[in-house]
Structure 1
């Protein structure tokens, strides 16, 4: 069975970013993700490198077969909250397939997930077979906003999840 994690770097708990990331994970594998990390709910623990609970989350996310990493677009990049969490992963710390996902207010930052989040996830060892996904905030709950990307992503991601294809 495929292990699926969602990591959301929105500083607001229960955000639209969380809804979008969970939707993408569910649509890619046909089931709810086994692990959802809404970083906003961790409070100051995310800044404490000795916090065992956050350390366990890092280990779980790192071992997931598929991880959707999502953030709202802040200053044309992902949030500092997400950066702090990702800083805990060493080289090779993400061993599965990753989906970089960002939400934004307008099309002007559509390349942000490809240019800012994808390279970090790649550096951490993730396999990223599909293009990064950018969704307009105003369409976060519209399945049509994801449909074309999901069609392409399933073709590229599913073989990695079913056969364990190498990066």
Structure 2
């Protein structure tokens, strides 16, 4: 099999924020497992380019800050504009893929927002989603672009697990063939 391709997609309003730092930590773990990784920020990329990257990837790390107890409008827009091969759509770039979720917030109060994103990815797109999702608040950072040692270890562990899950899904025709029911 060819090298795993893992893309990180960050739905923050500006490039280089805490969410990008957390997603980069997951990508670093996937890279330790031998995956080729790239990071795309929705704040400075056209959605069409990001959708194309989803189609080329084996796995995706979806990252977003939490606003009003859910993931960002930028990430919602991406998901709304991503076809799933239903109702006349001609592509399904997430079909047969694996995803990890990384949400960030100012406090631990919104950690359940991870479940909302997981539900959309698993139910609506039939993506195999790594569990549990990650939620990091400001206590996981020493500054805007540096994770604490424990948070860096945690994100890297998720990246390693994502690579393992992706390898398993790539080896299963049945898992790759699952499609949304409706």
TM-score w.r.t. the length of structure 2 is 0.74
Alignment of 1:83-94 (within 5 A): 83-91=76-84, 92-94=92-94
Aligned match for 2:75, one of 77, 82, 92: 82
Indicate the residue corresponding to 1:142 in structure 2.
148
Moved over 4 A (4+): 148-153
Match of 2:87 in 1: none
Structure 1 unpaired stretches of 5+: 47-53
Please report how far the alpha carbon of residue 69 of structure 1 lies from its aligned counterpart in structure 2 after TM superposition: 0.3
Counterpart CA distance in 1 for 2:163 and 2:10 is 22
Equivalent residue number for residue 97 of structure 1:
98
Gaps of 5+ in 2: 85-91, 142-146, 176-182
Q: Is the 8 A contact 2:29 2:155 kept in 1?
A: no
Deviates more, 1:96-105 or 1:27-36: 27-36
Conserved in 1, the CA contact under 8 Å of 2:12 and 2:74? yes
Per-residue Cα deviation, 1:111-150 (whole angstroms, up to 9, x for no partner): 1112x11112222232113211111133141130254575
Provide the rounded CA distance (Å) in 1 between the counterparts of 2:49 and 2:55.
Answer: 10
Q: Over aligned residues, Cα RMSD in angstroms?
A: 2.3
| Counterpart residue number, 2:37 | 34
Paired position in structure 1 for 2:17 = 15
TM-aligned CA deviation for residue 32 of structure 1: 7.7
Give the structure with higher Rg (CA): 2
The one of 64, 68, 74 aligned to 1:71: 64
Aligned residue pairs total 155
Which region of structure 1 is more displaced relative to structure 2, 11-20 or 56-65?
A: 56-65
Partner of 2:52 in structure 1?
59
- Tell me the TM-score normalized by structure 1: 0.80
CA contact (8 A) 2:29 2:158 kept: no
Q: Which has the higher contact order (CA 8 A, sep 6+)?
A: 2
Q: How far does the alpha carbon of each residue in 1:51-102 deviate from its partner, in whole angstroms, 9 at most, with x for none?
A: xxx3232022133112110000100000001111111212243132100110
- Partner-residue secondary structure (3-state), 1:62: helix
Query: Which range moves more in the overlay, 18-27 or 144-153?
Result: 144-153
> Would you tell me which structure has more strand in proportion to its own residues?
2
Partner of 1:129 in structure 2? 130
